[in-house]
Amino acid sequence: MTAYVLILIGGLTFARGGAEHAQVTLIGLAIISALPIIGVFWGVFRLLVEVDDEYQRLLFAKQTLLATGITLTIVTVWQFLNVYDVLTTGPQWMAVIWFAMLGVSAPIVR
């Protein structure tokens, strides 16, 4: 996550530094910024695969599914509020919402 913060701060500082940048440069920055988050998702998947204890694996799978369900619910409601012009913008940090819901779902599942 430290790499994510450093890449994000560096990329945003570069992109919003006042100079015009080519679209391909901004797309590259966006993809590079997303890589650490993708790595966390991969780590969660690998944890599910590597956990030896079946009960712990079940709890973590339930936690992951509940976090995903809560996140999808929040994003769906948020987007419909956007569709009906209640809000002018939708969620832009869905991975952060999912990470937060992963933490919220842990005590619920346990």
Containing domain of residue 1, as a range?
1-50
Long-range CB contacts (within 8 A, 24+) of 27-31:
none
Assess whether 31 and 65 both reside in one domain: no
Dihedral through CA 55, CA 59, CA 64, CA 68, nearest 10? 130
pLDDT at 2 over 80: yes
Residue 93 pLDDT level (bands cut at 50, 70, 90):
confident
Residue 60 pLDDT level (bands cut at 50, 70, 90):
very high
Total domains present in the chain: 2
Residue 100 neighbours by CB under 8 Å, 6+ apart: none
Assess whether 63 and 80 both reside in one domain: yes
